[in-house]
Amino acid sequence: MTARRVIAGNWKMHKGPSETRAFLHAFDPPPSDDGVLLLLFPSALSVHAAVAERPSRLPLAIGVQNVHWEDAGAFTGEISAAMVADAGATHALVGHSERRHLFGETDEEVGRKVEAAFGHGLEPVICVGETLEERREGRLEEVLFRQVDAALAGMKDGASDFMVAYEPVWAIGTGETATPDDASDAHALLRRRIADRFGPERAQRVPLLYGGSVKPHNAGELLAASDVDGVLVGGASLDPGDFAAIAGALPPHA
């Protein structure tokens, strides 16, 4: 069995509820194969609008960009996985590089957030990726293994669904894209590490997404690369036409 294929959009700090509604009215991707999941990560404030306006003809799920590991408490400004599930979202980005690098999120916190997501039936999309410096120093494997191990530290049997997004930090929002071969190499490392932990069959079913300057013009070659099951798109997911074009670039199932 192969992994589900996923076209995901991370809106970051863009689009309030009214812009979210306008996007969903305009978003009209071509029909996709069975088993393809479209996934949007609006701001937490726009989750309610996205869930309510989601066109029922599309296989579209809604997630959040971050969760706290506690269920409730004195954590001003945070949202819990419990609240996210209550609001009708089903997925959560965890450990996005902007959270790690701009807000100081640690590997250990990422692991706690993943556990909180599982605890409330949310599917985490675990983001990992190396900086340019780490890549130049030949530390790609070390960094990816450390991040993925920490994220999955609390997972006992690998039974719950999760995805991993490989997003090289140097490719996010920079217009620099990893080549399809770079993406395949990193994804193969991740698949191997997950297989070491939960067995090869389980690893085969974990969707591995590539992210970092994915655009309509390069999505096709990235999505065709081996071990790439989908993409996580930032800037180009803000435009309904561009995001639909990226979804349309997914090659039919072999």
Q: Is 109 a catalytic residue?
A: no
Instruction: Quote the least distance from Cβ 211 to ligand PGA, whole Å.
Output: 4
40/82 with CB nearer ligand PGA: 40
- At residue 208, the 3 state secondary structure works out as strand
Instruction: Quote the least distance from Cβ 229 to ligand PGA, whole Å.
Output: 16
Among 68, 91, 96, 187, the active-site one is 96
Instruction: Quote the least distance from Cβ 129 to ligand PGA, whole Å.
Output: 9
Whole-angstrom Cα distance, residue 237 to residue 248?
A: 13
Nearest-CB residue for ligand PGA: 234
For the packed helices 216-224 and 240-248, what is the interaxial angle rounded to 10 degrees?
Answer: 30
Q: Which residues is 6 bridged to in the sheet?
A: 37, 230
- 131-163 burial: b if 16+ Cβ within 10 Å, else e: beebbeeeebeebbbebbebbbeebeebebbbb
111/211 with CB nearer ligand PGA: 211
Residue 175, both tokens: 């217009």
Whole-angstrom Cα distance, residue 99 to residue 94?
A: 8
Which residues contact ligand PGA (rule: CB under 6 A)?
A: 10, 167, 172-173, 211-214, 232-235
Instruction: Quote the least distance from Cβ 66 to ligand PGA, whole Å.
Output: 13
Among 105, 115, 123, 167, the active-site one is 167
Residue 250, both tokens: 């997914």
122/232 with CB nearer ligand PGA: 232
Radius of gyration of the chain (CA): 17
82/232 with CB nearer ligand PGA: 232
Q: What residue spans of 137-175 are helical by DSSP H?
A: 140-151
Instruction: Quote the least distance from Cβ 97 to ligand PGA, whole Å.
Output: 7
82/168 with CB nearer ligand PGA: 168
Q: Is 167 a catalytic residue?
A: yes
- At residue 171, the 3 state secondary structure works out as helix
Active site residues: 96, 167
